[in-house]
């Protein structure tokens, strides 16, 4: 598996408008070096090449006739792309465009660069380490069985979240936005990848967990929801993620909580597990 860090933009200056996202005009041939770069994926390279008139001229032996002109079969297939394919490509293009527009705190000289330190505080509030440390501390300090049960399950949920997000990132391997500066503290190697946002999954899951298991007054419940939303939103503002990474992260975190409820470790179960250890 290639190292995601090697593919990431690193900690250099914010690339701004000089990102990796080149949108290919349908009516214009892409630059040769662009074709070469996309050539790492043979299918994409072939499809891109077939978008160029020169690419059309020379490619393929299997042809079909259109208005007297011989076109390769693969081009004919591209003329009838499925609705789902068009919808997905459009969604992806909107996602890239919107994420770039919203990445206003991606670096100090971005339009909202002055609030970057505040956004980084929000980032820390949703980071795995403070949550793991906090849950472990509360578990240690808790003197009631109910409190210990809740904290132990929160710890389990946090570990489960790290594992599921890590697996998902390793499978999907989506790059972080080009304007992101990889200056996050304490990351795993898979955190070089973007999809889904681990902060968003954790925020959604923990918010549901806290709302379900802590007796909180209404203003505090609202605060928890606002915090979770803001953690997700700050990922895009910081340029760390695309909008879809965060949207899917919220969705995944929401469902992860259901999994936590299903796997809930009860005192009886814990007793028998501890008993088996002795």
When the beta carbons of 92 and 129 are compared against ligand RDZ, the nearer one is: 129
Choice from 186, 217, 274, 277 touching ligand RDZ (CB under 6 A) = 186
Instruction: Note if 278 is an active site residue.
Output: no
Instruction: Spot the catalytic one: 127, 179, 213, 241.
Output: 241
Residue from 99, 153, 180, 197 touching ligand RDZ (CB under 6 A): that is 197
Query: Looking at 127, 179, 199, 242, which residue is catalytic?
Result: 199
Contact 265, 149 (CB under 8 A): yes
242 binds ligand RDZ (CB under 6 A): no
| Between 181 and 235, CB nearer to ligand RDZ | 235
* Residue of the chain from 136, 139, 184, 265 that contacts ligand RDZ (CB under 6 A): 184
153-182 positions binding ligand RDZ, by CB under 6 A: 162
**CA gap 163, 152 in Å, rounded:** 17
The reply on whether position 127 binds ligand RDZ by CB under 6 A is yes
Q: Which of 48, 56, 179, 199 binds ligand RDZ (CB under 6 A)?
A: 199
* Residue span binding ligand RDZ (CB under 6 A) among the ranges 23-31, 75-83, 185-193, 222-230: 185-193
Active-site annotation holds for 199:
yes
256 scored as a contact of ligand RDZ (CB under 6 A): no
- Other CB atoms within a 10 A radius of the CB of residue 54 amount to 10
Shortest Cβ contact with ligand RDZ: which residue?
128
Residues in the chain, overall count: 278
Q: What is the CB neighbour count within 10 angstroms for residue 57?
A: 9
Number of residues near ligand RDZ (by CB under 6 A)? 15
CB of 133 to ligand RDZ, least distance (A): 9
Rounded least distance, CB 136 to ligand RDZ, Å = 12
Fill in the per-residue mask, 208 to 227: x = in contact with ligand RDZ (CB under 6 A), - = not in contact. Answer: --------------------
CB of 162 to ligand RDZ, least distance (A): 6
Task: Quote the distance between the C-alpha of residue 71 and its chain's center.
Answer: 39
CA Rg value for the chain: 24
The DSSP annotation for the chain comes to ---HHHHS-TTSS--TTS-S-PPPPTTSPPPHHHHHHHTTSHHHHHHHHHHSHHHHHH--S-EEEETTEEEEHHHHHHHS--HHHHHHHHHHHHHHHHHHHH-TTSSTTSTTGGGHHHHHHHHHHTSHHHHHHHHHHHHHH--SHHHHHHHHHHHHHHHHHHHHHHHHHHHH-PBPPTT-----SS--GGGGB-SS-HHHHHHHHHHHHHHHHS---HHHHHHHHHHHHHHHHHHHHTTSS-HHHHHHHHHHHHHHHHHHHHT---HHHHHHHHHHH-
Among 55, 177, 192, 198, binds ligand RDZ (CB under 6 A): 198
Catalytic machinery residues: 199, 241
Site residues for ligand RDZ per CB under 6 A: 127-129, 132, 162, 184, 186-188, 191, 197-199, 235, 240
């Amino acid at each position: 598996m290639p190292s995601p860090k090697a593919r990431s933009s690193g900690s250099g200056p914010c690339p701004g408008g000089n990102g990796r996202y080149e949108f290919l005009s349908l009516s214009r041939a892409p630059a040769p070096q662009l074709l070469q770069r996309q050539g790492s994926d043979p299918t994409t390279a072939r499809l891109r090449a077939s978008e160029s008139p020169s690419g059309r001229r020379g490619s393929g032996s299997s042809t079909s006739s259109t208005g007297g002109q011989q076109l390769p079969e693969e081009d004919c297939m591209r003329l009838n792309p499925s609705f789902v394919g068009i919808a997905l490509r459009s969604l992806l293009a909107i996602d890239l465009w919107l994420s770039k527009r919203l990445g206003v705190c991606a670096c100090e000289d971005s339009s909202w660069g002055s609030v970057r330190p505040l956004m980084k505080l929000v980032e820390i509030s949703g980071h795995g380490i403070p949550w793991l440390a906090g849950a472990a501390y509360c578990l240690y300090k808790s003197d009631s069985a109910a409190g210990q049960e809740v904290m132990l399950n929160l710890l389990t949920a946090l570990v489960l979240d790290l594992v599921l997000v890590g697996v998902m990132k390793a499978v999907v391997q989506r790059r972080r936005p080009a304007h992101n500066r990889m200056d996050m503290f304490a990351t795993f190697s898979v955190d070089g990848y973007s999809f889904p946002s681990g902060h968003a999954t954790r925020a959604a899951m923990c918010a549901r967990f806290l709302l379900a298991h802590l007796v909180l007054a209404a203003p505090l419940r609202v605060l928890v929801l606002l915090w979770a939303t803001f953690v997700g939103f700050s990922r895009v503002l910081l340029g760390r993620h695309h909008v879809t990474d965060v949207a899917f992260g919220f969705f995944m975190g929401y469902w992860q909580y259901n999994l936590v409820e299903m796997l809930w470790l009860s005192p009886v179960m814990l007793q028998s597990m501890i008993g088996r250890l002795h």
